[in-house]
Every structure is written in C-alpha cells, then in structure tokens.
Amino acid sequence: MTMIRTAGARLGMPATAVLALLVAGCGTHRVEDPADAYRRTHPTPTGISRPSTPADFPCPGESPTPAPPPAAGISAAPGDHYAENHGFRVPFPLHGRSRCDGLAAVRRIEGVLEPLRESGDFAPESTSRALTGLGYPAAKVRSYEMGPTAVGFLVEADAAPLCVEGTMGRDATEAHAFGGYPDHSGCDTPSGGH
C-alpha cells in the first residue's frame, strides 16, 4: 500500500511543479499595444505623408519671417509626469489664416487699450468697456484687477475658438492669441483634465 501512496504523491509532483512555474511567470509577459501591432503589420506607404503642423505664412503687416511664438508649455524633470498630466492647460497655437486673424485681433485690442494705459486707467470696468466697444459681446470679455496699476483680460474673439489674453500695466499692454485648450471649449484656462 505504501507504494500506491508514493506513486500517487509522485504523480502529483509534476502537476504541482508546472503550476508553480506558471504562477511564477505571471506578470512578466507584456501585452503589445494594439496601435503598435497595427503599425508593425500595416506600415505607412511611402507615397503618403503623415499630418504635420500647418505652414505659416506672413500675415498682413508682418515681416516675411515671423518671429516664433513664445514657447507655451509646462517643463518638468525627466521621469516626472507633471507636464504630461497638465498638458490640458497648454493652449493650442494658431496657424495659417487663424494665426493672421489672431495677430489682427491682438493689434486691435492693444490699440484700443493703449489710451487707457497712457491715462493710467487700470479699472477692469474701463477695460471691459473698451473691448466691448470693438464689437466683442460682453459675455465673451473678462477683465480683472492685477494690482493698483495692472489689469488682465481675456477675450473670446470668435467661436473657432480664437482667444486673446493679456495684461495692461503701467509700462506696456501685451496680448497674445491662441486657439483654446485640449479637452475644453472656450478660452478660459481649464481647472481639470480628463
């Protein structure tokens, strides 16, 4: 009888060893990203180009070689996911015809605010009044105090969206145009991502 028990125990050892190997190997196999698998099996034909940033051209009143737009982004140390996690707060740059429309809106806004700056009128109400005087709806214009000698403003110039944001202070009026934010409609800075 002892032989049967030993034989039964010996028969169970290979099954236990196989199970132990399977359990030990769990988690070491990585599943391939479906997009990578598709690209590997379906390479891009050589005659087809991938989408790229639209070409910019000189806008009316601009020199033939436009200055590069200010770098908008959130910098972080390598390995830090702060920039990745806050990418929803980086505005879209404008290109092509939209960039020209944005530059024209910036010139108009800076032009109407310059007399207020020169007279020392930094009241948000005066700024809003000047911007709505350009034809922007009051619901699409925001201005706010940034101290006794500065005011900030945000204008949703059109529904594309074309946004103009800036400040008017004692030394200068500065504005820049952008095309909204990812995962968000409108021109105000989003408070949370997806």
The pLDDT of residue 150 is 96
DSSP state of 123: -
Q: What is the mean pLDDT of residues 125-141?
A: 96
Beta bridge partners of 119: none
Alpha-carbon torsion angle 178, 183, 188, 189, nearest 10? -90
What would the pLDDT profile of 59-75 be if each residue is shown by its tens digit?
A: 887 766 545 544 444 55
CA dist., res. 161 & res. 178, Å (int): 8
CA dist., res. 155 & res. 181, Å (int): 14
CA dist., res. 49 & res. 90, Å (int): 27
Band the pLDDT of 90: cuts 50, 70, 90: confident
Is residue 98 a contact partner of residue 160, using CB atoms and an 8 Å limit?
A: yes
- How far is the first Cα of the chain from the last one, in angstroms, to the nearest whole number? 68
Band the pLDDT of 115: cuts 50, 70, 90: very high
Q: What is the mean pLDDT of residues 155-168?
A: 92
Is 70 exceeded by the pLDDT of residue 56? yes
Is 60 exceeded by the pLDDT of residue 95? yes
